[in-house]
Amino acid sequence: MELQLEDRILTGGVLQPKLTLHHIGVLVNSIEEATTAYRELNARISKPVVVASQSVRVCFVDMDSSVAIELIEPTAKGVSQDLLKRGITYYHLGYLVPNFDLALENLAELSYVHIQTFQSEAFEGRRCAFLMSPVLHLIELIEQA
């Protein structure tokens, strides 16, 4: 897919693919328990989806904002469960990208480390990738529909 001018931003004199913040990923022990508090605030909550390749179950909480909260419940031992056991609940920022491959390439040039690419059931099988930023923050790229 060729990028249109509106799909790019100027960064350091170079046109880069636009990253649109989609969600903030947070770890929870139980989606059912965590959604109780959001339901009391009249949030819209998606049906939980198992993302098998990541050993998690996720759902999205919409609080009438352009950015959702992704609740992430580990379903097996792994990094997310280890973080949760240590009390770390912030996990990542998820960004929609109009050109997935170009975004990966450009972020690599900016010293982001590509960790994994997978197809996510939470996004109708579209490609997603986790990357670590130069300041050790985890981000997720999501292929735009």
Ordered DSSP codes for 64-110? SSSSEEEEEEE-SSSHHHHHHHTT--EEEEEEEESSHHHHHHHHHHT
What pLDDT, in 10s, does the model give residues 63-113?
888 999 999 999 999 889 999 999 999 999 999 998 899 899 989 988 999
d(CA 104, CA 97): 10
CATH code of the domain occupying 5-143: 3.10.180.10
Domain limits, the chain: 5-143
| Percent share of the chain, pLDDT over 90 | 74
pLDDT of residue 1: 37
pLDDT of residue 4: 43
pLDDT of residue 15: 53
